[in-house]
Amino acid sequence: MLAIRVIPCLDVTNGRVVKGTNFVDLKDAGDPVEIAKQYNLDGADELVFLDITATHEGRNTTIDLVRRTAEKVFIPLTVGGGLKTLEDIRNILNAGADKVSLNSSAVKDPEFIKKASDKFGVQCIVIAIDAKKVGENKWNVFVHGGRIDTGLDVVLWAQKVVELGAGEILLTSMDKDGTKDGYDIELLKAVSSSISIPVIASGGAGKVEHFSQACEYGASAILAASLFHYKKLTIKEVKKYLKSKNIPVRATT
Partner 1 sequence: MQTKVAVIDYGCGNIKSVVNALHYCNADTYVIDSPLKISNFGGAILPGVGAFGPAVDFLKSKGFDKAILNYVNSGKMLYGICLGFQLFFAKSYENGEYEGLNLISGEVRKFEFKDKVLKIPHTGWNNVESSESEDAKKMFSAVANEETFYFVHSYYGILKDLSQASSFCDYGIKFCSSVSYKNVWGSQFHPEKSGKNGLKILSNFIDEVNK
Q: What are the residue numbers of the active site? A: 11, 130
Residues 207 to 226 in contact with partner 1, rule: CB under 8 A: 220-221
Identify the residue among 49, 120, 157, 217 touching partner 1 (CB under 8 A): 120
Alpha carbons 206 and 228: distance in angstroms, whole number: 10
Output phi, psi for 232, to 5 deg.
-65, -35
Residue 24 as a binder of partner 1 (CB under 8 A): the answer is no
- Do you know the residue count of the chain? 253
Task: Return the number of the residue (95 or 143) whose C-beta is nearest partner 1.
Answer: 95
Return the range that interacts with partner 1 (CB under 8 A); candidates 13-21, 120-128, 141-149, 235-243: 120-128
What is the 8-class DSSP label of residue 214?
A: H
Return the range that interacts with partner 1 (CB under 8 A); candidates 9-17, 23-31, 69-77, 108-116: 69-77
CA distances from 78 to 49, 51, 157 (A): 6, 11, 21
Identify the residue among 15, 31, 88, 122 touching partner 1 (CB under 8 A): 122
Binding-site size for partner 1 (CB under 8 A) equals 39
Is 163 exposed, middle or buried, given 0-12, 13-18 or 19+ CB atoms closer than 10 A? exposed
**Those residues with Cβ within 8 angstroms of residue 232's Cβ, 6 or more apart along the chain or in another chain:** 180, 206, 226
SS3 90: helix
Residue 75 as a binder of partner 1 (CB under 8 A): the answer is yes
Residue 167 as a binder of partner 1 (CB under 8 A): the answer is yes
Return the range that interacts with partner 1 (CB under 8 A); candidates 16-24, 29-37, 94-102, 238-246: 94-102
SS3 139: strand
Identify the residue among 64, 121, 134, 240 touching partner 1 (CB under 8 A): 121
Q: How far apart are the first and last CA of the chain?
A: 18
Residue 198 as a binder of partner 1 (CB under 8 A): the answer is yes
**Those residues with Cβ within 8 angstroms of residue 43's Cβ, 6 or more apart along the chain or in another chain:** 6, 235, 236, 239, 250, 251, 252, 253
Identify the residue among 114, 115, 160, 250 touching partner 1 (CB under 8 A): 250
For partner 1, the binding residues (CB under 8 A) are 1-5, 40, 45, 70-71, 74-76, 93-98, 118-124, 167-168, 192-199, 220-221, 250-251
